[in-house]
Structure 1
Amino acid sequence: MNPPDEPPTGLIAGVRAVGREPSPERVGQRWGFGAFLLVEAVFILSAVFITAIASTNGTDPFGSVAFILIGSMVPTVLAAALAVVITRVRGNGPLIDLRLSWNWADVKIGLKLGLLGMVLTYLAAVIWSRIVGTDNATSAIGELVDGAALPLGAAIAMFLYVCFVGPICEELIYRGLLWGAIERQGWSQWAAFVLTTLIFAASHLEPLRTSLLIVVALPIGIARLITRRLTASVVAHVINNFLPGLTLLLVSLGVMPG
């Protein structure tokens, strides 16, 4: 029999266990929703600050390669780093508090749900673009690089961010820190899944794309839900972001039309 913090491995076993086992205890965790709100505030304020600095220096924020890289990456990385620091100062560290323990079974589940999410995202994006129109179907990062001839190094850096760095940071914040804050309140795993999915979608600050982002977030959240660890959701998020990241790379290099 598996201990409370070690749910059954495997996709089917994990699904069956959801709702039957209590949320894991969070002994030694002295942070909650306040920590998440602080991290979100740092994310938003740093993005505003970078934009303001670029504008005051006479730089076109939407045409500068430096702004595209810094404005896209720094706020998310800074917020995720703060989340890790909070768990070290006010808890047991990220491995315990953010459920970062490694498990190959979680990797397999993440791969399966990531591939499923890739298909769902593609289908949802096709339907959604037909509803809102192709002119309104571009993401915030897509709008930044659209029309900007990025150097090879910058294009590769953006690809690595979209496919790997961004997903890891976002998982630390939403299905790590926020999920942990919800668990600390004694709420159910399903409540954590629903709330993190909705907040993740809304936090991108792209109202037109919120419904699409909810679809994107569902398989990623399910990976976290059935394994109770962050590894599976990180893998699912990375797989789900691969095609958009590759497309962004090819468009920014001028290989594909925007």
Structure 2
Amino acid sequence: MNPPLEPPPEQPPGLLASVRAVSREPEPEREGQRWGFGAFLLVEAVFILSAVFITALASTSGTDLSSSVSFVLVGSMVPTVLAAATAVVITRVRGNGPLIDLRLGWDWADVKVGLKLGLLGILLTVVAATVWSRVVGTQNATSAIGELVDGTALPLSAAVVMFVYVCFLGPVCEELIYRGLLWGAIERQGWSRWAAFLLSTLIFAASHLEPLRTSLLIIIALPIGIARLITRRLTASVVAHVVNNFLPGLTLLLVATGVMS
């Protein structure tokens, strides 16, 4: 008599199954959170005002704003870091802290999801950027930092700082603001996670203040938002964002140091 066959091991749900399951799961609790859209508007005000202040300071000192390495790096980094720091402070003062309010819980499964969607994001970015550059022209499809290093060799220290910001610091700060604070503000209104996903994606793209690249940024942001959507935590979207930015950041580093032309 043959022994009974054992049932095959359960396979983890695929990406599409995970996305479909989101609509059937209850909304997460946000007890103790006393901040909402006003907190996000304050963070955006910190970002804009600090960027305006840096621009005015550079102008009064006679700095050439179109070619200054230090201005582009400082003007990109400082407002983003200040805004993210403000978001963290708000969760401590008006809520439960960033770990709970911004959904920063750690799970290795989230890292795996972020890696997969980050790799998907790289492929999507390459395809979208290629198509977009043909539509609007290569010059118009380039970011501010990309325009700065285009064909220009930078000091090694500046190139490394730029690489760290583009690949690591920038993604972490932006995730805290848009898929952390903004997402939480939307959920606190009782709106669905799908609404949080769509609105945070659109506002994230528009907030870069690069009108010609907004539609491209929306496409790039989709896998990052999906990582946040299906895991309900920020870790996955941070990992996806870091992975998605790694190839562009590495390219900028090689161009800035003269390794690539």
Q: TM-score range by the shorter chain?
A: over 0.9
Unaligned runs of 5+ in 1: 1-7
Structure exhibiting the larger radius of gyration computed from Cα positions = 2
* Counterpart AA for 1:27: E
Q: TM-score, normalised by structure 2?
A: 0.92
2:122 is aligned with 1:118:
yes
Give the CA deviation at 1:12: 5.8
Equivalence for 2:206: 202
Residue 109 (structure 1) shift: 0.2
State the partner residue of 1:69: 73
Matching residue's letter, 2:34: R
Q: CA deviation at 1:21?
A: 1.2
1:68–1:145 Cα contact (<8 Å) kept: no
Q: Match of 2:221? A: 217
Tell me the CA shift for residue 128 of structure 1.
0.5
Cα distance in structure 2, aligned partners of 1:124 and 1:34: 34
Percent identity of equivalent pairs: 83
Per-residue CA deviation, residues 119-170 of structure 1 (Å, 9 max, x unaligned), is: 0010000000011111212112212333553210110010010000000000
The residue aligned with 2:8 is none
What amino acid maps onto 1:94 in structure 2? P
Distance in structure 2 (CA, Å) of the matches to 1:55 and 1:145: 21
Matches within 5 A, 1:144-183: 144-146=148-150, 148-183=152-187
* Correspondence for 2:95: 91
CA deviation map 1:167-217 (0-9, x unaligned)? 000000000000000000000010000000100011101110111000000
**TM-score, normalising length from structure 1?**
0.93
The code of the aligned residue for 1:149 comes to A
The CA deviation string for residues 90-139 of structure 1, in whole angstroms up to 9 with x for no partner, is 00000000000000000000000000010001000000001111121211
Secondary structure, in 3 states, of the residue corresponding to 1:178? helix
Query: Does structure 1 retain, via aligned residues, the 8 Å contact 2:69–2:148?
Result: no
Secondary structure (helix, strand or coil) at the match of 2:255 reads helix
Match status 1:38 vs 2:71: no
Q: Deviations along 1:56-93, whole A, 9 cap, x unmatched?
A: 01111232232122111101000000000000000000
SS of structure 2 residue aligned to 1:130: helix
Q: Using the alignment, how far apart are the partners of 2:252 and 2:66 within structure 1?
A: 16
> 1:15 Cα deviation (Å)?
2.4
- May I ask how many residue pairs the two structures share in their alignment? 250
- Per the TM alignment, residue 26 of structure 1 is displaced from its structure 2 partner at its CA by 0.5
Tell me if the contact between 2:152 and 2:258 (Cα under 8 Å) persists in the aligned partners.
no
Aligned with residue 143 of structure 1, among 143, 147, 155: 147
Asked if 1:246 corresponds to 2:250, the answer is yes
Partner of 1:5: none
Q: Which runs of 5+ in 2 are unaligned?
A: 1-11
User: How well do the aligned residues superpose, as a CA RMSD in angstroms?
Assistant: 1.5
- Supply the distance in 2 between the matched residues of 1:212 and 1:122 (Cα, whole angstroms): 11
In 2, Cα distance between the equivalents of 1:67 and 1:10? 44
CA–CA distance in 2 between the matches of 1:23 and 1:66?
Answer: 44
SS at match of 1:134: coil
1:231 corresponds to which residue? 235
- Equivalent pair of 1:63/1:148 in contact (CA under 8 Å): no
Structure 1 residue aligned with 2:28: 24
